[in-house]
A and B are shown apart, each in its own frame.
Chain A
Amino acid sequence: MRGVLVGAAMCVAANAVAADSIPESLTGARGDPVRGRAIIVNRHLGLCLLCHSGPFEEQRFQGDLAPDLKGAGARLSEGQLRLRIVDNSRVNSATIMPAYYRTARLARVAPAYQGKTVLSSEQVEDVVAFLSTLRD
């Protein structure tokens, strides 16, 4: 079942390039924005703040390699956010952003991470749900 879901997500992403979006939830359910925020600020799980900065006042040492996450939910629709988290290389082939929900086309992955996505489908949805709340 999980394999089918992964395959389905890949296909959705592949076919969604023109549309610039993955409109459907990867899990069929809405994510939890509170859990999403916790994933984003976790430097071993979401890794987001290594490169991005954002409205996380308690977090010191945020990155400046990537756009500020402030206002992400106003700039991008939920589906657009989902595509960029699942696999930003679909939007920009030269991106430095890792694909958070893709296991294909990766080289020399360390054994502990082989065949695993950076985030689970549930975690992707949680992050999408939180980023959608960043509207200012």
Chain B
Amino acid sequence: MRVVGTVALLCTLAVPVRAVEIPPAERRSGYEFMSRETRAMQDDDAANPAMLWVLEGEALWARTAGAGERACRDCHGDARSSMKGVAARYPAFDATRGRPVNLEQRVNACRTERQKAPALAYQSRELLALTAYLGRQSRGLPIDIATDARMKPFLDAGRAAFNRRQGQLDLSCAQCHDDHWDKRLAGNAITQAHPNGYPLYRLEWQGLGSLQRRMRNCMAGIRALAPEYGSAEFVDLELFLAWRARGMKMETPAVRP
């Protein structure tokens, strides 16, 4: 009994210390941690492999889909003007659902409700292509999510998730990406984990991937159970990351090691 009491007391003492958020002046995109060669790949559209998905997205934008026999373009017109800055505002509040949705969910809402077409699966080539094309229309623009009262509980939930220790290795996102972003994990820069380039081409993947795919990689690394793709919990975390990177310029489609 005495031992149980001692263990319980230690548990309450072992609450993790809250990480300190990175001041705006010290925020650095993942781009700044990359080699000159990888930067050059992102900077040159002809060398950036992610541009293949952007081109495919452009074609999908104009292609009729579903029983509604409508293309994205039929309602939204030329994405180069109508979609300028849109991706930089996601996750955004969706009044129907009463919660924020990410860009993938917004595309799928349009597909199922307007086009009467089946939703696209996470990590499907089509959804990556469309979100890459949409993200491309915000390239160079600052991340600008809404942070009104409706968003606050979801932002708070995302912040709590970012700061929560998890997995067998018992690490929070913040312990690496707020507290040790200037260090190296084995040979690799840890970085600040900003979401300003997604979907992006990761050399390790040899393909394009979403922010949620990247977060799942991190969670696998700390041996944690990752939430399902598209789960509310993941969107809240995306929202917090976007808030944390507010004002940073979008690089979609970025290249990362």
- Beyond the given A98-B169, A112-B223, please list 7 additional residue pairs across the A-B interface where CB-CB is below 8 A: A14-B3, A14-B7, A49-B186, A89-B14, A107-B164, A107-B166, A109-B224
Q: Is the CB of A108 within 8 A of B186?
A: no
User: B residues within 8 A CB of A90?
Assistant: 10
Indicate whether B203 reaches chain A with its CB closer than 8 angstroms: no
Interface-central residue, A10, A11, A108, by most chain B CB under 10 Å = A108
- Name A's interface SS: loop
Q: How many residues of A contact B (CB 8 A)?
A: 35
A17-B223 Cα distance, complex, nearest whole Å: 27
Interface residue ranges, B against A (CB under 8 Å): 3, 6-7, 10-11, 13-17, 164-171, 175-176, 179-180, 183-188, 190, 219-220, 223-226
Given contacts A65-B183, A107-B165, A110-B224, contact A96 B15 (CB under 8 A): no
| Distance A60 CA – B180 CA, assembled complex (angstroms) | 20
Across the two chains, which residue of chain B brings its CB closest to A102?
B170
A to B contact number (C-beta, < 8 Å): 90
CA distance A118 to B168 in the complex (A): 7
Q: Is the CB of A118 within 8 A of B169?
A: yes
A2, CB-defined interface residue at 8 Å: no
Cβ A98 vs Cβ B14 within 8 A: no
A61: which B residues are within 8 A, CB to CB? 186-188
Tell me the complex Cα distance, A15–B11, Å: 13
Residue A99 is within 8 A (CB to CB) of chain B in the complex = yes
